[in-house]
Structures are given as structure tokens and as C-alpha cells.
Amino acid sequence: MTQTAESRAALAFRGIHNIRDLGGHPTMDGGTTRHGRFLRGDALRGLDTDDLRLLLESGLRVIVDMRSHAEVNEGPNPLAGHDAVRYHHIPLYDGLATIEAMAETHAGGFDMGLRYRAAFDECRPAMARVLTLLSEAGDGAALFHCTAGKDRTGVIAALLLGNAGVASEDVVGDYALTATHGKRLIDQLRERSLARGNDPDRAERVLASRPETMRATLEWLEDTHGGATAYMERIGLDDATRQRLRDRLTA
């Protein structure tokens, strides 16, 4: 990852913990992804006045919230009714087996990469809808987010960056930044998980953003679907939609 991307990722918010720009990544044709187009983030539940001002000044105009209905009911997006922002709610993982069920099936060998791969195969309509909405965002920045800004957000970021021609290792680096940039939020989620009596080892596997997890996922995506752009085509995104997504990050 370039220093420009690292610097942008280090942008500090007071109440939200894992939001960063997909700009600043080198592309394999010698270019660099553009800032101010796509933001990836957490649920914005701690958004304060200063954070809101900073987000709006960054050009935020569209939000795609990928959390479940239950998560949204528990903590509605604070910008869902904002006049300056178009808000969309697409539960990305609807119908996917729970983490608990997957962990039981893969006892001793579970990591979140298994869940990402299952989501790519089992959540295709929602994946396509999220990507289509992002392609139609128009002027300004589009923010896509889940709860921690790591998993559902991570797979969509991987597709956007891969489709824009960003090398796999830079996609891996972007994913792994949650371990440092989102540390405050991950620490909070860990405390809540342990307070509910969850197994510490499983909690660590769920909350980790290890580079090898995304690296293995991208290798699987290449081997199984031909990579990000081919996957987008497979789930129904036409040439024009894929090009709009690419142009938002590179043109």
C-alpha cells in the first residue's frame, strides 16, 4: 500500500473507528486509485458533529448499509434520513449460515475466509445489488459499511479494488489495516464478545483481519471465478456497470 493510502487511512474521526478511503492504491497499469470516490467503514454509531462535518466535507453523498435487519434495528444509521445523503440498506449476508454454525462445521479450522468464500457463492443477488448501487452513486463519495467495517465491507472493497486493477497484495494490505486503524472498535467488540461468554479463541478468529485470510480468499476468487471482474460478470453486472465502477476509482 502506498504512503498516500496509509495517510488517508489515518484520517482521524472521534466517534467512528474504521473508516477509510479506497484512493491512493497503485494500479497495475501504472495509475493510482482516486480519493473521494469510495469510502469503506463501520456502522457510524458514534458519529458526532465534527465527524459529520468531516464526512460531508469529504463529499459523502451515498451510503450503502450492508448490516442485517436486526443490526439496523438495534443501531440505525445516523445518516439514514439526512437531506444531503442517499441511504440504501442491503443486508449483504441474508440467508448465509451464522458464524456459530460455520465454526461448528469447521471445528478447529474456522477462519473468516471460509465465510467470505461462502458469501461470494451464496449471496450473489445482494452482492450485485450493492455493487450496482455503488456504480450509480454519481458525483461525490459513496460509503459502504457493515458493523465493524471488516468483513462484509472487506469483500466489497476487494471486488472494487480488484476490478480497478489493484494488485492482490495491495487489496490484502487494505483489508489488514483494520487491525491497526480499527483497533479501538475491535477491542470494544472483543470485550462484548467475551462478556457474553464466547470462547476467546473463536472471538479472536472472528475479529482478526489477518493478511493470510484475505490472501487465501483472493486466490480462491481467482481460481474459482476468474478474479473480481469475472466474478462481477458472473453475478450479473454488465460491461457498463463494471466500467462505471472502474471509472469511479481510476478515471
**CATH code of the domain in which 172 resides:** 3.90.190.10
Q: Which residues of the chain have pLDDT under 70?
A: 1-12, 107-108, 182, 193-194, 198, 201-207
Confidence at residue 8, expressed as pLDDT on a 0 to 100 scale = 45
Confidence at residue 123, expressed as pLDDT on a 0 to 100 scale = 97
Confidence at residue 156, expressed as pLDDT on a 0 to 100 scale = 98
Which residue range(s) make up the domain with 187?
3-250
Confidence at residue 171, expressed as pLDDT on a 0 to 100 scale = 97
pLDDT digits (tens, 9 = 90+) for 127-184: 999 999 999 999 999 999 999 899 999 999 999 999 999 999 999 999 999 888 767 7
Confidence at residue 193, expressed as pLDDT on a 0 to 100 scale = 66
Angle at 145 between CA 131 and CA 3, to 5 degrees: 95
Q: Tell me the pTM.
A: 0.90
* Among the listed residues 103, 95, 93, the one whose alpha carbon sits nearest the alpha carbon of residue 66: 93
CA distances from 3 to 6, 18, 25, 55 (A): 5, 18, 9, 22
All residues at 6 or more sequence positions from 247 whose CB lies less than 8 Å from its CB, including other chains: none
In single-letter form, the type of residue at position 64 comes to V
Number of domains in the chain: 1
Confidence at residue 6, expressed as pLDDT on a 0 to 100 scale = 46
Is residue 40 within 8 Å of residue 153, measured between CB atoms?
yes
